[in-house]
Homo-oligomer: A and B are copies of this chain.
């Protein structure tokens, strides 16, 4: 079986796991007040070229999104998202569970456009409707695309015009910034967003995401809020140590690159056999629409996810990661040959 199920199906990168083992006898302050968390925060601030942000290490992505948004929104505030947004589709109502409506529009290749944001803001005119107050995007998006700097600047402009916070879910930020279509630098991020998180889970960490708070107003009592929402981790030093390992010498970017190389290889092989991605993707998620026979052959030989099925066929997703092995991906040729026969 070729593993193309997702980018969080192995425990974590060897260097990360070894670092944990190496420091097993050390004693640390709990709840993220330790020296590793401090050092990791410093590394990230250097990378972002911003000394004023705060970095908080959180346990998981859904938690991160919910904790941040419920921290900055009042009960009548809503967050705007593309209808493919992870917070809208795949978080089991966590945002609504914390009391906030998500306002959506049709995604444009996984993205949201400034005009769409503006239209939503204009349609919300009085106190009988929610008040849009934040814009959520994910980069890379849920369909594998990435935002360009120009697109983000245009969104930022709308956010300023309508007094919206601009928040980025960076569960797959690594592959976004290493994507061949990316033109955003790490140092651009703090100029664009009020907050964003750098995803660890899907890029080599055992667990953990690094929430970066840029907007000064977000910083007050954020640790209280993390705890109130059940997201505080006693052994915060674990995530601190992981992120230090990932960022001290560029391992994080290396892993993203490896993931993208595997994705490129897979995409090329698929194209050789006439399979083109269903959504344009320059990252590590590749979607294909296949027929019943194809689906069944894949099912026997590849570990992947089925996202939907209708009269037009089966929509399947292949995901690569740093842990993908190129020699395994090469085996896809044999599978495709079997189908073509």
A206 at the interface (CB under 8 A from B): yes
Residues of A130-163 whose CB lies within 8 A of B = 130-131
A76 at the interface (CB under 8 A from B): yes
Chain B residues whose CB sits within 8 angstroms of the CB of A5 once the complex forms? 27, 29-30
Residues of A192-233 whose CB lies within 8 A of B = 201-202, 206-207, 221, 223-233
Q: Which of B8, B91, B237 contacts A235 (CB 8 A)?
A: B8
> What is the distance, in angstroms, from A106's C-beta to the closest C-beta of chain B?
12
> What is the distance, in angstroms, from A273's C-beta to the closest C-beta of chain B?
24
Q: Which of B89, B90, B129, B235 contacts A11 (CB 8 A)?
A: B235
A85 at the interface (CB under 8 A from B): no
> What is the distance, in angstroms, from A170's C-beta to the closest C-beta of chain B?
15
- CA–CA, A133 and B78, complex, Å: 23
Known: A11-B23, A24-B11. A231 touches B228 (CB 8 A): no
Chain B residues whose CB sits within 8 angstroms of the CB of A30 once the complex forms? 5-6, 8-9
A277 at the interface (CB under 8 A from B): no
- CA–CA, A13 and B20, complex, Å: 11
A323 at the interface (CB under 8 A from B): yes
Residues of A91-150 whose CB lies within 8 A of B = 91-94, 96-102, 123, 127-131
* Beta-carbon nearest neighbor of A1 in chain B: B27
- B62 with A75: CB separation less than 8 A: no
> What is the distance, in angstroms, from A259's C-beta to the closest C-beta of chain B?
15
Known: A5-B27, A128-B227, A230-B231. A100 touches B92 (CB 8 A): no
- B94 with A228: CB separation less than 8 A: yes
Known: A21-B21, A59-B60, A230-B63. A221 touches B96 (CB 8 A): no
- A18 with B20: CB separation less than 8 A: no
* Beta-carbon nearest neighbor of A61 in chain B: B234
How many copies of the chain does the oligomer comprise?
4
- CA–CA, A90 and B63, complex, Å: 20
Question: How many residues of chain A have a CB within 8 Å of chain B?
Answer: 79
Residues of A45-66 whose CB lies within 8 A of B = 59-63, 66
A182 at the interface (CB under 8 A from B): no
9 new A-B contacts, CB < 8 A, other than A5-B30, A20-B20, A60-B230, are A8-B234, A31-B127, A62-B230, A74-B225, A90-B129, A94-B227, A96-B100, A131-B224, A206-B238
Pairs A–B under 8 Å by Cβ, sample size 18: A11-B241, A14-B24, A60-B233, A62-B227, A62-B232, A71-B75, A76-B92, A92-B129, A93-B228, A96-B99, A96-B100, A97-B100, A127-B221, A127-B224, A131-B221, A206-B235, A229-B230, A230-B231
| Residues of chain A having any CB pair with chain B under 8 Å | 3, 5-6, 8-14, 17-18, 20-21, 23-31, 59-63, 66-67, 70-71, 74-76, 78, 89-94, 96-102, 123, 127-131, 201-202, 206-207, 221, 223-235, 237-238, 241, 303, 308, 323
Q: Which 6 A-B pairs have the closest CB atoms?
A: A63-B230, A76-B224, A92-B227, A76-B228, A96-B101, A93-B130
